[in-house]
Amino acid sequence: MRRILIAVIAVIGGFLFTSCGYNTMVEMDEQVTSSWAQVENVYQRRADLIPNLVNTVKGYATHEQETLTGVVEARSKATSVNIDPSNLSPQAIQQFNQAQQGLSSALSRLMVVVEKYPDLKANQSFLDLQAQLEGTENRIAVERRKFNETTQTYNAYIRKFPRMIYAGWFGFEKKTYFEAQQGADKAPEVQF
């Protein structure tokens, strides 16, 4: 009798978990985590390109040490900010975004410096690195968009009735979107 009762509870429990969307919520939560990992992956690719870029520029722009040091320091700050995908809070994403924005700003200053050196702009190694960096910036934009789409799908799923009840019971909470920094809607001012 006890075995039958356990079997019935297991069947009913399994039915409830599958019909309430628990497994789908787990799957979607993992997709958000995976998508965030890909965002970090493309940012890491950018960070990995920077030492080569700095070394290439260093050979031409020896008296631009302050700018080069700024890029290296910004890279160090950006790569030191790691976020646990299970804690994608607005504060954590903002901290990550600020570190990456600092690196983007330092790279922009470096590109302004590069304009002063026609030989450097014609150097094939520099041109290759610049093309890779531009491609990486595009990848970053694509992965952030995919992350936000995955997050939107997850958030919508757990907020629909009756799943919103089950989601709360099982600890599935709304995820934060990757948003642009304040002032990102204005073009940066570049002076030569």
Query: Domain residue spans in the chain?
Result: 31-143
CATH class given for the domain over 31-143? mainly alpha
**Helix or strand or coil: residue 148?**
helix
Q: Where are the beta strands (DSSP E) in the chain?
A: none
| Least reliable range by pLDDT among 22-31, 43-52, 105-114 | 105-114
Model pLDDT, residue 16: 58
**Given a cut of 70, is residue 14 above it in pLDDT?**
no
Name the DSSP letter for residue 84: -
More confident residue, 74 or 5: 74
pTM (2 d.p.)? 0.75
Model pLDDT, residue 144: 94
Share of the chain above pLDDT 90, in %: 33
Name the DSSP letter for residue 20: T
pLDDT band at 114 (very low <50, low <70, confident <90, very high): confident
Name the DSSP letter for residue 160: S
Model pLDDT, residue 188: 43
Q: How far is CA 78 from CA 43, 105, 106, 138, 158, in A?
A: 9, 12, 11, 18, 32
Average pLDDT across the chain, whole number: 84
Give the mean model confidence (pLDDT) for residues 81-90: 82
Model pLDDT, residue 58: 80
Model pLDDT, residue 6: 82
pLDDT band at 182 (very low <50, low <70, confident <90, very high): low
Query: Both tokens of residue 115?
Result: 């304009």
**Helix or strand or coil: residue 162?**
coil
Cis bond upstream, residue 85 (ω within 30): no
Model pLDDT, residue 189: 47
CA-only gyration radius of the chain, Å: 23
